[in-house]
Amino acid sequence: MTASRSARERQAAAEAGPLATVKIDLGEQQEFLYKISCTTCVAKGHRKWSAYRPGGDNGFMAAMDRWIFHLSEKHPGTEAPCLAYLPAAQQRLHERREQQ
Ligand SMILES: [Zn+2]
């Protein structure tokens, strides 16, 4: 469990790019809690930005989607592997809105 958590943390951090700080905590049910924070927004003294989502792969995807949107809106021009998923993230957002 611990090994897979730190492995996931490393992988998520690599995908999220240099501006992100990724932490994965364990919840009460031993579920993963994904937290992605923006180092730039913290450093500039803005309201601290972070995406915090519980759950397995769905939680990870939801947190990463929010991070992708944050990067593309607030830090255009930043290079990060996860930006390759921007179209997919927009598609998921669109589908969620359709369902509501
Ligand atoms: Zn930011």
Ligand 1 mean position, distance from CA 70 (Å): 6
pLDDT at residue number 17: 97
pLDDT at residue number 20: 95
Ligand 1 mean position, distance from CA 26 (Å): 25
Q: Which amino acid, 42? A: V
- For residue 4, the number of C-alpha atoms closer than 13 Å in the C-beta half-sphere is 7
Could you list the pLDDT tens digit for every one of the 100 residues in the chain? 456 888 989 999 999 999 999 999 888 888 888 899 998 886 565 566 778 777 777 788 889 999 999 999 999 999 999 999 999 999 999 998 998 8
Given a contact cutoff of 8 angstroms between Cβ atoms, the answer to whether 11 and 63 are in contact is: no
Cα distance between the two ends of the chain: 35
The pTM score is 0.83
